[in-house]
Structures are given as structure tokens and as C-alpha cells.
Amino acid sequence: MLTTQEANQAEENIRFGRVLLFSEGSERFGGNRTLMRELLGGKGAGLAEMTAAGVNVPPGMTILTSQCREYYKDGGKLPAALLDEAKEQLKRIEERLDRKLGCTQKPLLLSVRSGAKFSMPGMMDTILNLGMNDDTVEAMAVLTGNARFAWDSYRRFIQMYSNVVLDLSKDRFEDILYDKKESLRVTNDTDLTAANLKDLVSEYKAFVKRERKIDFPQNTDDQLKGAIEAVFKSWNNNRAIYYRNLSKIDHNIGTAVTVQAMVFGNFDNDSATGVCFTRNPSTGERVLYGEYLINAQGEDVVAGIRTPEKISDMAKTMPVVYKELEETALRLEKHYKDMQDIEFTIQQGELFLLQTRTGKRTAAAAIKVAVDMAAEGIINKQTALTRVEPVQLNQLLLPSFDPQAKEAARREGRLLATGLNASPGAAIGHIIFEPDEAEKVAVEHSKKVILVRVETCPDDIHGIVPARGVVTSRGGMTSHAAVVARGMGKPCVAGCEDFRVDLDREEVHVKDQVLRKGDVISIDGSTGEIFSGAIATHEPKLSPEFQTLLTWADETRLLRVRTNADTPEDAQRARDFGAEGIGLCRTEHMFMSQDRLPAVQEMIMAGSVTEREHALAKLLPMQREDFIGIFEAMNELPVTIRLLDPPLHEFLPKYEDLIEEVAILKTKGVTGEELRSRELLLDKVHQLKESNPMMGLRGCRLGLMYPEINRMQVQAIFEAAIAVQKKGLTVYPEIMIPLIGHVNELKLARIMLEATAKEVMEREGVTIEYKFGTMIEIPRACVTANEIAEYAEFFSFGTNDLTQMTFGYSRDDAEGKFLQKYLEGITWNNQTTKVLQHNPFEVLDQSGVGKLMKLAVEYGLQTRPDLKLGICGEHGGEPSSIAFAHQLGLSYVSCSPYRVPLARLAAAQATISVEEKDK
């Protein structure tokens, strides 16, 4: 009996086959692009689609991802029928090209590449020039009239195949090549003659024989089989797994294999290879952007071994082909309705496209491309809105270097060098050379790190992730470092040849200076400049396209976006970023400031209500001033003010410190006032001490035990509101009572505080429009929201605390003690299982916390259909949580000022996504 899974697979094999020609893919899937990507992989789907769109693509075939899954299910065995089907399809390619794999007259050479549903650049293996052997190399020499090219291709093939299939280090072959050049006293690979290369092939083959005890495979069918299997295997190499973890890609989807007729960019000087974006991936400007290398193979560009030419130069060197490339780019953009990242090869003046995919881009580019394409009529506004990842926006809102500070640094001679502006942004950090060390220093010691390498490779990812920025001395705009850094929104200066990096000594020689590990540098990824020392940064500005996009977002979204701000400055900044009010103004931050702490402590140490009121009277004018500033900044917008929330001991010295102090004083024999005052303080702190302060006397409980504190705050709020209103501005204060768990808490607090509010308004003869509401941050509040809504005009979900209580996690303790492990996974019997997919304090836990929120919304609206609902936890600035807030039908999210643009966009995307679903 077949299992269901096996039966599905069998059916799939019959419906779609195991191997499809590029020319039959698009038709077979009836244009279902998702299914194409799933079964042909991104690369295979792209080639099939390009072929169907009439683009000049070298013919080839794709082995479906289903085969990779079958391969792993069978414990690493190629599916039985796969090779037969592949050979049959290959025959059709051979017929079409009038060449044949392994043929000693007209040999066909193949490239074998990986291609999963999601792009994993450079993570898996590739083999070029497959089909080369001792016989076909001669045939190629004859056929092309270029013996040197033939032998060079053969030696490249041996090197690559041996590395990928036979697991021999690339470096060992490079050493042999180096020795060869040394012995011949030549510098460049191109200086080697056909004869030299033929010798090199012999040496390579001898090396393989020595190391692996086998002759280098001469049978081309065996070569093909080995290559296919190697690609399947590379799906599960360490860097691929790391990348998938990082990019949250399912480990079970497998890769497809594309087998394609080779074309040769290294055929002659009318040949070339290149990669290019249809627009500038850094700025979004509408111009071909990329590099090419004359007389080279694609790997040379990607690996950054030779520094390539800018694509714009091609307009001069190869004007006809360049024009064709431009036309092709346009055709592809119109077809795919997005910016493309293409690989091409020119063989003897003929342009072949090898690959196209959606181009990765910086946030700035994403915005400009989306807005431009909408303006060009390629896409509509809604699609434009979905083209920018909200989290990417963060990088645009990071500070950049202050131009004057940079100018000064330049004058002071601190500009060390300028490389390629590979990924924009400003970063300051300590130079670290080794990825392992970068990870250690950045993660464990929390230091800012700039990773400096000759070039980076996929194995270095763990050092790039935690670094503030990356510098390489080799490689172009499409080198590994550049691509990865752009994807992560991390500043990168690539190919800075003036930076002579000595990895062994951990030094950089630049001009006449030496930089060492730990030295601080500042890099500007937008200009490619590298400075010694730190340079002052300054506030970001939104580009016109960014503004446009956000305006479109505002037209689309239903969720309002507010900000969490405790000062007039933050309030103003958020407003500049488009905040539509304050969703959370935490008053305790006002209590913490150094000039107020004495009055706050006096209030806490008070022995009676009268004493406490005396201390509170000192705080009143200060609080009033705070609120005046905030109300002014938020003229005409609502301001939600949360009354004092934290336990009072947070405003006093730490218990342990006092115990230690008193013990020392006593042991020293100190007596009198000095000891007495510390002991008094210790007593008070002891009295306030709690075993679980998170769940103790705080929030509304504090206000119910000491109503005079909240009354002072409400008095300050209303006096401030009246003062601002008298200036002709409009205020909408919303008083928020935290930590409500039982309706009676809110009922009581509201009665008391509204009395104060009315008292102030009557005294001043001014009426203020205001609301009273509560944070929903206690599970009990969620399940009794129908009762609570009787006294609350708004609910603001405090998702931080709600997550803590719902999970039973104290965030501080959890993150220090077990949460990391829960996220990394727990290993048992060699299998690692993640307990949690996301940190619930970053990404809202929809199935747990979210379920409680859903109940709260339902119950709350039952009682009060016009209840205002919002989120004011950190989740208010996280896209998936914003989407959830939209689904719940909340009125607004509130987030930190810098997250406001992100939230505006994410809210729009949430609206679009729900609309899509409703279609």
C-alpha cells in the first residue's frame, strides 16, 4: 500500500513528469506561476517563463523539486525513473541543437544548477561545462577553433566537479594553478596557453586520482548523474540550512535542478558574461545596473574574483548587444511587473539570458521602484504598496552621517578610502576580521562591529548578521557581500581595493596607515567612503517617493497609527512621521528624571496621606509642564496618557545594595544619623519589596491604594489641557488606567478620577473633551471585557504584559533563562525541535495571546458597540502583528516614533491582503 504522501507524489509525477524542457514548462502548468515555482524552483520557472516569453535562453530542462523530496524520503537515493526521463528529455535538446552530450564530434556541454522555490543565492552548488572529458575537449577545440578555450573549460570543469561532487577543496586546485603560473613565471590565468592548460588538466586529474583513488569520470552520463545528486545534496549543506533558518524557509520543500546547454562568455573577446538589474537596486533609479566581464564565465562575476566593468560601459564596447539587453530588460519588467535581476552571457556577439528573478533591493530602491512603476503604469498603487517590506523601512529611518561632521572628518584627513557603495546606510564600529569573532563580540559583548574581509562567502553569514556593516576589499556590486548586505539593509562598502586586508595579522594597510582589530571606523554605504574613528550621525529625512508611498498607504489603510511618546520631542518626531495621535504616554518616565526623583522619593517615604500629598504637590507643576508640551505637539490629535504603572520600589535604591551598605556600616561600627537614615530607607524598601513585582502592587492597584497619586496626575493632565486649549489649540486627552483585571477596579478608579477632572474643569470654567479607558493586559480583563467595557470608553491592548501573563513568562527572566533556547530549539535524539517559532515579545502570539484579544474585542463590543480599540505594546510596530490588529478590527496601533512609517505601510498591506482574500 502507498501512503497518502507517496500516492500524491506518484500522481504528481504522472501529471507533471519528473523532468520538463524549458519550452514545455509554462504550458504544462497552465501559467500557474505559484505551482511552477514550487515544482520547477525559481530558476527553472524563470527559464520556462522566459522561454515562453520569447527571450533568447539556451535550451535546457528542469528536474522538478518533487525529485529532491523523493530523494530525501528514500534516504538519499535518486528516484529510479528520474535518469531515464532526464536522458529522454536531453535527447530532445540534443536534437534541437544538433549536439550531443559526450559526442566526440559535436559535444554538448551543460550547466547543472540548483533552484529552489525561494532564492538562496550562492547557498547551493553549481557545475558548469559538464560533458567535458579527454575526448570531447579535443572535439571542442576543433569545433570552436580555440584549443585554449577548450582546455580552459575542461580544467574549470574538473576543478568544479571535483569540488562539488568529489568533495575536494577548491583551494587545492587553485594551489596547483598558482604553482603552474609560478613555474611558468606568468601572472594572469589568461597568460596560460592551451598547452599549459592541457598540462594543468593532467595535473588536476593526477591530483584527483591521488586523493580519491579514482580516475576523473570520463563517462558523461555518470558526470550528469553525479552532478544532479550533488545539487540535491547541497540542499542540506550547513550554509543552506543556516540561510533557510535565517530566512524562515521550510526545510522540506527541496530544490529543483536545471540542466542547460552551456553558452560561453569566455569563448573569445566578443563574448562576455554579466549580471544586471533592470533598475538600480540601491537607489531604484531606472537604468540598467550591473557588471559584465569580457571573455569570462559567470562564476567569475559572482565570486568577485575579477573586478568587473560597469554595465553602462557596454554601451560603448558592445553597443548592439547593449541595446538588445535594454530591450530585453524592458520586456522582462513588463512581463513580470517587477524589477528583474538577470544573468546573461554573450557568446560571439549573441545575447543569451541565463536567468531572471525578482531583484533584491534596498528599502530606498524598493520604494522608488514601486512608486515609479505605478507612475509608469506597469503596476497599480495597491501593488506598489505590497512591493515594500515594512521592516525594510527601518533602515531608511536610521541616522545617516551628518554632512558637516563628514566634511570635517575629510578635512582632518580621516577619509581612509572609497570603495563601491554596495549597500546604503551609515555604520560605526570596531573592525573585526573573523566572522566567528564578529559574532562573539557583537552578540556576547554587545559591541558594535564592522566586519572587514577580502571577500565574503556564504560560510560567513553568521558574522555578517550581527555586524553593523561590512567592508570587502574585492568584489563588485553583485558580489556576495553586497547582495547579502543589501538584503539585510546593512551598510556595505565592497571592492575597496585600497584596503589591503591581511587576515593572518588581522591588519588593514590603507595608504600609509595600519588599522588593527578593534579600531573604530565609520562606513558610508551610500557613498562607499570609509573614515577612521566615529562620525556624528543625524536624523533621517523621508524621500519624496517615500512620502508618496505613505500617502497611498494612508488612502488604503483602515487602521489608524499612533505613537508611544513620553516627551514633546518624541511626540513631534512621530507626528512628522505621520502619527495620528499618542497611543501611549507613560507617565513613569517623567517620574524617573533626576530632578524629580527626590520629590518622588519623598512621596514614597511619606508616612501619611498628608505628607504624601505635600510631596505630590511638588510634582504637580512639573507633570503639568510635561503634559502642556505634549498636548501642544499633538494639537488636534488624541493623546492617551497612562497613569503611573510601575511598583514604587523602582524609584528607590535596590534592596540588595542597601542590605550590603547597612551590613558594611554596621560591621565598621558606624552608628548615628548616617546608619539610621540608611536603615530607614532599607525598611521602606523592604516593606515595598515583592517576590514577583510584575504581579504585585502596581498599575491600577497602586492608584486604588494611594488615590492621591493618580488624582495629582489627573489634575496635572486637566490643568495642562485647559492651559493649552486657552492658547487656541485643541486637545483630546484620553486617561488610561493600567492593569485592570476586574471591572470594579476600573469602576472605582473612574469615579474617583472623573471627580477630579470635573473639579478642575469647574474651577477653571473650561470644558475639555476627554475619554476614560483602560489597558487590557491581564488575561482576566480579556475574558471579562463585557463587564469592563461598561466603564471603559476605550481598550488599549498592552500586549507586552498580556504576553507575559498569558505565557506566564517574566520577560526579563525568560529572555535570560530559557527563551533563547526555546527559539533555537531543544535537541533530543539528534533532532532539534523549536519550542517557539518567534519570540512572542517581538511577534504577537496569535494563537494564544491573540485568542484572548479576540475574546476581549468580541465581549467589549457586545457591551459598547462604539468602543475604541488599539494596541500599544511593542507589537504595534511589527508587521504581522499589525496585520492581526487589522483582522481583529481594532481602530489603531501605537508604536515608537521611528516605527510609524512602517506601521502606516503595514496597515495598508493588511487592508490589501484582506481585500485580496475577500475576492
* Residue 166: closest CA among 209, 202, 134: 209
Element (H, E) at 616: helix 609-633
Q: Please tell me whether residue 812 binds its own copies under the rule CB under 8 A.
A: yes
Q: Please tell me whether residue 845 binds its own copies under the rule CB under 8 A.
A: yes
* Binding to its own copies, residues 813-832 (CB under 8 A): 813-814, 817-818, 821-822, 826, 828
H helix and E strand count, the chain: 39, 33
Question: Taking a C-beta distance cutoff of 8 angstroms, is the pair 280, 312 a contact?
Answer: no
Does residue 589 have an active-site annotation?
Answer: no
List 305, 836, 843, 861, residue binding its own copies (CB under 8 A): 836
Element (H, E) at 831: strand 831-833
Closer of 53 and 748 to its own copies (Cβ)? 748
Q: Is 187 exposed, middle or buried (0-12, 13-18, 19+ CB in 10 A)?
A: exposed
Name the minimum Å distance from CB 475 to its own copies: 41
List 56, 358, 810, 880, residue binding its own copies (CB under 8 A): 810
Name the minimum Å distance from CB 183 to its own copies: 54
Question: Taking a C-beta distance cutoff of 8 angstroms, is the pair 282, 486 a contact?
Answer: yes
Q: Please tell me whether residue 805 binds its own copies under the rule CB under 8 A.
A: yes
- The amino acid present at 74, given as its one-letter code, is D
Closer of 610 and 831 to its own copies (Cβ)? 831
Q: Which of 492, 496, 585, 872 is catalytic?
A: 872
Name the minimum Å distance from CB 228 to its own copies: 35
Cα separation, 749 vs 771, in Å, equals 13
For 408, which DSSP code?
A: H
Q: Which of 480, 649, 875, 886 is catalytic?
A: 480
Element (H, E) at 19: strand 19-21
By CB under 8 A, which span of 76-84, 110-118, 349-357, 736-744 interacts with its own copies? Answer: 736-744
DSSP per-residue letters across 226-262: HHHHHHHHHTTSHHHHHHHHHHT--TTS-EEEEEEE-
> Degrees (nearest 5) of the Cα angle 10, 14, 15?
115
Name the minimum Å distance from CB 480 to its own copies: 35
List 694, 729, 761, 766, residue binding its own copies (CB under 8 A): 694
Name the minimum Å distance from CB 708 to its own copies: 12
Residue with cell 506561476: 33
Beta strands in 320-414 (DSSP E): 340-347, 350-358, 400-401
DSSP per-residue letters across 504-519: TTTEEEETTEEEETT-
* Binding to its own copies, residues 772-791 (CB under 8 A): 777-780, 783-784, 787
Q: Please tell me whether residue 804 binds its own copies under the rule CB under 8 A.
A: yes
Closer of 481 and 785 to its own copies (Cβ)? 785
Cα-based distances in Å from 600 to 455, 623, 656, 677, 789? 56, 12, 21, 17, 33
Question: Taking a C-beta distance cutoff of 8 angstroms, is the pair 26, 96 a contact?
Answer: no
List 747, 764, 766, 823, residue binding its own copies (CB under 8 A): 747
Q: Please tell me whether residue 705 binds its own copies under the rule CB under 8 A.
A: yes
Cα separation, 426 vs 531, in Å, equals 11
Q: Please tell me whether residue 871 binds its own copies under the rule CB under 8 A.
A: no
Number of residues that bind its own copies (CB under 8 A): 63
What is the distance of C-alpha 81 from the center of its chain? Answer: 40
Closer of 33 and 834 to its own copies (Cβ)? 834
- Antiparallel, parallel or unpaired: β 560-564 and 892-895: parallel
What is the distance of C-alpha 287 from the center of its chain? Answer: 26
Closer of 592 and 704 to its own copies (Cβ)? 704
Beta strands in 834-909 (DSSP E): 868-871, 892-895
Does residue 480 have an active-site annotation?
Answer: yes
Closer of 587 and 784 to its own copies (Cβ)? 784
Cα separation, 166 vs 229, in Å, equals 11
By CB under 8 A, which span of 268-276, 623-631, 656-664, 715-723 interacts with its own copies? Answer: 656-664
Q: Please tell me whether residue 4 binds its own copies under the rule CB under 8 A.
A: no
Q: Is 581 exposed, middle or buried (0-12, 13-18, 19+ CB in 10 A)?
A: buried
Q: Please tell me whether residue 847 binds its own copies under the rule CB under 8 A.
A: yes
Q: Please tell me whether residue 768 binds its own copies under the rule CB under 8 A.
A: no
Q: Please tell me whether residue 751 binds its own copies under the rule CB under 8 A.
A: yes
Closer of 128 and 643 to its own copies (Cβ)? 643
Q: Please tell me whether residue 691 binds its own copies under the rule CB under 8 A.
A: yes
Residue with cell 562568455: 265
Closer of 741 and 876 to its own copies (Cβ)? 741
- Catalytic residue ranges: 480, 872
Residues that bind its own copies (CB under 8 A): 655-656, 659-660, 663-664, 667-668, 690-697, 701, 704-705, 707, 739, 741-742, 744-745, 747-748, 751-752, 777-780, 783-784, 787, 801, 804-810, 812-814, 817-818, 821-822, 826, 828, 833-836, 845, 847-849, 851-852
